[in-house]
């Protein structure tokens, strides 16, 4: 059954691609989060700069990082995801 799925169902090519997008998104998310938090946050507290009252590391890592991810997710949904039917079973199946 699985061999058939892999070879013939074109919907699974779409699904596999979208799973890869998910992994790429989470890697970008992590690098952004980690880079700003520990890049700026490892200075001593006296040298911190502040944006809107928050320490800069927190502002960029957590607040800006959140908005960046929302924008990336919207871009991915609008431009990269493909609508496929779930129920049209065995479509394009030729064994």
Partner 1 sequence: MNVEVVISLVIFLLIIFVVGFMSAKHSSRKGSTFLQEYFLGSRELGGFILAMTMVATYGSASSFLGGPGAAYTQGLGWVLLAMSQVATGYFVLLILGKKFAIMARKYEAVTLIDFLKNRYRSSIVVLFSAISIIVFLFSAMAAQWIGGAYLIESIVGIPYTSALFIFAVAVLIYVIIGGFRAVVFTDSIQGVVMFFGTLIILIGTIVAGGGVSNIMNDLISENPNLVTPYGHDGGLSAAYVSSFWILVGVGVVALPQVAVRAMSYRDSRSMHRALIVGTIVVGFIMLGMHLIGVFSRPILPGIEVADQVMPLITMEVLPPWLAGIVLAAPLAAIMSTVDSLLLLVSSTVVKDVYLNYIKPDATNKRVRQVSYGVTAFLGILVFAFALSPPELLIWLNLFAFGGLEAAFIWPLIFGLYWSKGNKGGAIASMVVGVGTYIGIHNFYPNPLGMHSVVFPVVLSFFAFIIGTYIYYESSKKSVEI
Which of 10, 22, 31, 49 touches partner 1 (CB under 8 A)? 22
Residues 43-72 that bind partner 1 (CB under 8 A): 45, 48, 50, 52-55, 57-58, 61-63, 65-66, 69-70
55 SS3 class: strand
Contacts of 85 (CB under 8 A, 6+ apart): 11, 91
Residue 51 β-bridge partners? 54
Q: Does position 74 bind partner 1 by CB under 8 A?
A: yes
Name the nearest CA neighbour of 78 among 21, 31, 30, 20. Answer: 21
Name the nearest CA neighbour of 77 among 25, 30, 29. Answer: 25
The rounded distance, in Å, linking the Cα atoms of 18 and 66 is 21
Which of 79, 87, 94, 95 touches partner 1 (CB under 8 A)? 87
Binding-site ranges for partner 1 (CB under 8 A): 2-3, 5-6, 9, 11-12, 14-16, 18-19, 21-23, 25-26, 29-30, 33-34, 37-38, 41-42, 45, 48, 50, 52-55, 57-58, 61-63, 65-66, 69-70, 73-74, 76-77, 81-87, 89
């Amino acid at each position: 059954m699985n061999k058939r799925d892999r070879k013939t169902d074109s919907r699974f090519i779409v699904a596999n691609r979208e799973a890869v997008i998910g992994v790429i998104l989470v890697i970008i998310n992590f690098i952004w989060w980690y880079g700003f938090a520990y890049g700026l946050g490892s200075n001593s507290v006296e040298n911190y700069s502040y944006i809107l009252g928050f320490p800069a590391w927190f502002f960029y890592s957590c607040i800006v990082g959140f908005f960046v991810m929302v924008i990336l997710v919207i871009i991915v949904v609008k431009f990269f995801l493909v609508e496929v039917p779930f129920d049209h079973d065995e479509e394009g199946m030729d064994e």
